[in-house]
Amino acid sequence: MIHARNTDRLLIISTLILVVVGVVMVYSTSYVVATKRFGSEYFFVKKQLIFAAAGIMLFIVSAKIPYRLYRHLAYPILIFAILLLLLIFVPTLSHEAGGARRWIKIMGFTFQPSEFAKFAVIIFLAYSLEAKQSVIKDFYAGFLPNIIIPGVVIALIMSEPDFGTAVTLTILVYVMNFAGGVKFRYLGGLTLAVLPVLYLVVTNFGYMMNRITVFLDPWKDPSGAGFQMVQSFLAFGSGGLSGVGLGEGKQKLFFLPEAHTDFIFSIIGEEMGLIGAGITIALYLAFFISGTRIAMRAKDLFGTYLALGLTLMISLQALVNMAVVMGVVPPKGLTLPFISYGGTSLLVSLFAVGIILNVCIEGNEH
């Protein structure tokens, strides 16, 4: 049983272990590709180490900042996030990869605005749900603002296009509104209204339909559209119970494209087997349990919604990523928090963990 005094310890330990696992696995999955592309096997892992060090510093700083400060900055942070998303449409600033414009490139640094946008939406919802508690059951005052404003952010993310992040953020918005006391029939009615729109979007974007087709039958085109999923299955299959050994995996040798990003969990399954994959899942579960317990023990509603939203932001993305690489849901292009290669995700995630820890610290002092 997890006692309240140990909740923050569990949060810190699970987070740091996942970050360490990430550094190790980024090196294991990328050294061959890094050597071929950049002439150095340490190209990706050196960057990941820098991101991890910077992220831990952000974690320490954010753990010391009183979380109530974000309540007063909810709208400025949200507006800034929207402006960053709009900058993607500026050709001289945006960076395109894989047919999508999801990054801003300034002075050699690449930044993914959608990661910060998720953070901004959570702060806004935490503020709004607390401020509107007296009218939360009202359709116009308590429901619409908490759907329309996040909806603008989700629409901008969809236009990049980044379907995976948009869907994950949509689920997060639903859960936070439900936890905040919004009537279920409003959320259910919105779902029924959105389904036809979602169908039109999916059927009119070829890459989305392609992903669904691949999900339903990846073996239909194992050397084409289904290649990545088939290679992921082969990685898990060859890993068995205990894996083939750290660094000994074969699927990363140009079989599984970009194994150090979206499909890094497949290599964990191959090299460390069911045991390693199970331990990784257990670490995320420990993180989720710790974060939700902190949310429930917060000294005010803003702290509750903020800690819950940030915990879900990380846990839900981890769940979706692992479900994708195991073929449970259609491919969505989401990284595995703390573990996948990527600076923006790691920095934002560690900053978020620091905020959750501050909610815990102030809650224990209350």
Other C-beta atoms lying within 10 Å of the C-beta of residue 312 = 22
**pLDDT confidence of residue 2:** 42
**pLDDT confidence of residue 351:** 96
- Count Cβ atoms within 10 A of the Cβ of residue 222 and give its class: 0-12 exposed, 13-18 middle, 19 or more buried: middle
Average pLDDT over residues 45-67: 95
Q: Contact 309/172 with Cβ under 8 angstroms?
A: yes
Closest alpha carbon to 116 in 90, 146, 88, 142: 88
Residue 277: give the domain boundaries: 4-365
- Residue 216 clears pLDDT 90, i.e. is over it: no
**pLDDT confidence of residue 163:** 82
Average pLDDT over residues 79-102: 80
The fraction of the chain above a pLDDT of 90, given in percent, is 56
CA distance 248 to 1: 37
**pLDDT confidence of residue 209:** 67
272 versus 6: which is more confidently predicted? 272
- Count Cβ atoms within 10 A of the Cβ of residue 155 and give its class: 0-12 exposed, 13-18 middle, 19 or more buried: exposed
In this structure, of 87-101, 178-192, 330-344, the range with the lowest mean pLDDT score is 87-101
Q: Contact 149/117 with Cβ under 8 angstroms?
A: no
Average pLDDT over residues 96-115: 74
Taking all residues of the chain, what is their mean pLDDT, rounded to a whole number?
87
pTM over 0.85: yes
**pLDDT confidence of residue 332:** 72
pLDDT tens digits for range 340-353: 998 888 999 999 99
SS3 of residue 298 by DSSP: coil
| CA-to-CA dists, residue 260 to 46, 74, 136, 176, 223, angstroms | 13, 34, 43, 31, 20
CA distance 148 to 143: 9
Question: Which residue do the tokens 């991890």 mark?
Answer: 52
pLDDT tens digits for range 137-187: 999 988 999 999 999 999 999 888 788 888 899 999 999 999 999 998 999
Average pLDDT over residues 194-210: 71
Instruction: State the total domains in the chain.
Output: 1
**pLDDT confidence of residue 125:** 97
- C-alpha torsion 85→87→93→97, nearest 10: 30
CA distance 318 to 339: 10
